[in-house]
Chains A and B, each alone.
Chain A
Amino acid sequence: MSTSLNILVFNCGSSSLKFRLLAFPGERELARGEAQRIGPKTAEPARMVAVIDGDAREYPADMPDHAAALAETMRLLGETPTLMPHALGHRTVHGGSRFCEHTLLNDAAIADLEKTKALAPIHMPPILRVIQACREHYPRLPQVAVFDTAYHRTIPAHARVYALSSRVRDRLGVSKIGFHGISHEYVAGEAARLLGKPLGGLRAVSCHLGSGGASFCAIINGASVDSTMGYSPLAGLVMSTRSGDLDPDAMLRLLVHHRNDARASEDLLNKRSGVLGISGVSADIRDVLKLSRGEGPQAERCRWAFNLYSWRLRRYLGAFLATVAPADAIIFTDTIGETVPEVRAAACEGLGLFGVKIDPERNAKADASKQGMPLPIDVATIESRVRVLAVATNEELAIARCTFEALREANALPAGGAA
């Protein structure tokens, strides 16, 4: 009988399904992979890319939907008897107002979760399809929903409430929720460890800069006190295709432009704005940065787009550093935060007032995508009062930890597992 508990984590995207299998309590990785290009046929076929017990695999697979991707994942793991999971953890983008804690899923909880679909229409439907398929095909495996929103439950009322009439607030049920909490919480823990501080004493701004979504989190005493994202993941920073902030008057003009069609405005702001909208060429800020080094009108527009992207980062960094002052650290993470030194440098420019000073040489070498200095790394100068850290996020590990804790707290650790 196994003495460890195998937790299989799913991180579900709109057309992908990442998985990682970890043995607890030692947190040893047994397998990882990603089902790519799930859905209708594209120029390239859907494929599975995985490392199973140290063995790299890549092959095309018929995965017309997320249920098929789940089945393929389980079939692949099933080839090795020791890799069967004992519990499942799901990255769940939105917990609405019902879910403040990571939750062991039963029929009632899943039914409640279905109600959050509309709050994150890009992310939640495929997550729920995977959860439902697991429930149907693997009913004995306990499932835990680990929420991106849960870390932000500590945001205080003065940062959470919108200055709207109670009539509108109550009818719409809107307040700031915040997202990317799994990543923010994980890197906050890593930063505290690096700084040799207890997490409960950490004051920091966590900058989760993904190639898709992005958000900052203000952290005081290890807890979230604010997020650049709001009730929805549209608000805040400039993202790959999301606009981030637009003031209400601008929104009203957009609505008039779209003849009061809120869906058309939402579609524009979620799918055709952000880096893609302002650059006109790519939704990836790395492409924009590369193109900005050229000459001609396209390069000029890309330079402007990069400035706009960076400007919003700097403006929000100032706001959040004022919130957490005196800060111990700024933490950069996820694809862009870990691999694009130019973004870190541009975001931290002119923050001397807050005690932030980047070491340009160290920062340039800290690039997780190249043969540079490995992460985590502190790229601030010695005299900088605030440490500037580049930390690799590990959402799957964080989800697995939360799953393990939720099972233990619910007294639901499967028999045969550890602990």
Chain B
Amino acid sequence: MMIGTLELRGSGYAYAWYEDDRDAPACSGLSANCDAPPVPAPDILAIRVPFGGCEFVSPALIDDNVLDRISLLVPQSPGDLTAVLHLIRCSQRWFGSCRQVAVFDTAFFAGAACESEFGSPESVYAIAPELSRELNLYRLGYEGILHEAACRHVAEQVRHAAGSLSASRILSICLEPRPEIAAVVDGRPVMVTGGVGRIGGLPGECSCGDIDPTIVLMMADGLGMSVPQIEVELGRNSGLVGLLDQATSIPDLMNSKDETTQLARAVFEYRLRQACGSAAAAMGGIDAVVFSGRYHSLGSQVTEHCLADWIKSPAFYLFDRPVGRAMASMVIHLPE
């Protein structure tokens, strides 16, 4: 079976076609516009959807009803969802006959976050629950696909290993340009650093992560900035680029010996350490740690600087597959 995957990338998209369970894609590439990818129609196509709110707690076969439901979510994530709806419509035109599935980054967390009347303690803020509902203020993370796939990978590894290994409490560290840490107990997430959108949580390459909420109000009131201006400032000009006054990647920062980068590196490592501590408390301990995302290979450095002096003897794993491969694994076993 050929499984196609599509995800937004800048103003275009990335595609990767996988044959059955093979790790390497049969073909892959980037497109800067909405031309059809130069590949035959797959048997099933997975399209990454960055936000599904509480509406989608699992992948959904795309039909008119699902498109309508995604459209209703646009006000909560206007930029991302407008672009992905366009991509879906293009893919329907290109590959009309194949089954197409929306795979949501937020679904992994939405299941646990939205199942109760008021929301789980992790998913909400300390404001009136009526207001949380009205404004859809739920913490749903933004790297759920990779967290879920990485934790499944750990579970498989443990199953195949001899002895009495247990991995019911997994610290999942997703090292992407916007890194995210989750705590997963028996396959269900109980804590995540990501917030309502993509700015909060850990500081990223260009996003500020969590800050004192008063600062946002000061930007509006004291600096006279509009909401879109603040969004750009906090989401694109902050994080490592804000601390260093120049663009850098997380690997470049972690490997830099330059004195001028030491504060940014210390900030980044410190925030990772604290998030890992929160995750450990949320789970009541840690059985395994898994690193995923495009910078997963930094796992040993993160372990050395953020974990080694306080976490004793958990098992460490790397999940080195890209998000496209993770999506392919999710949809391959979906019922007809």
Contact = CB atoms under 8 A, between A and B. Distances in A.
Measured as residues with beta carbon below 8 angstroms from the partner, the interface class of chain B is 35 or more
A231 B230 CA distance: 18
B87 interface: no
A310 B281 CA distance: 12
B206 to A, nearest CB: 10
Contacts of B137: 250, 253-254
B138 to A, nearest CB: 9
A234 B280 CA distance: 25
A278 B128 contact: yes
A311 B310 contact: no
A301 B219 CA distance: 34
B277 A321 contact: yes
B209 interface: yes
B32 to A, nearest CB: 28
Nearest to B231: A252
A231 B215 contact: yes
A235 B214 contact: yes
Contacts, number: 239
B220 to A, nearest CB: 4
A354 B283 CA distance: 12
Contacts of A354: 280-281, 310
Nearest to A280: B128
Interface stretch (A18-26, A55-63, A158-166, A391-399): A158-166
A203 B56 CA distance: 45
Contacts of B129: 278, 301
Nearest to A278: B126
B242 A235 contact: no
B267 A353 contact: no
B267 A165 contact: no
The 5 closest A-B pairs by CB, nearest first: A318-B281, A322-B277, A247-B200, A350-B284, A247-B195
Given A248-B211, A319-B281, 16 more contacts: A162-B212, A167-B237, A168-B219, A168-B242, A169-B242, A174-B218, A247-B196, A252-B230, A255-B217, A255-B220, A257-B134, A277-B126, A315-B278, A321-B281, A326-B310, A350-B283
26 contacts: A163-B238, A163-B239, A166-B242, A172-B219, A174-B212, A230-B211, A235-B213, A245-B210, A247-B139, A247-B197, A247-B200, A247-B210, A249-B199, A250-B125, A256-B227, A262-B218, A265-B217, A266-B214, A277-B131, A278-B126, A317-B281, A318-B280, A318-B281, A350-B284, A353-B280, A354-B281
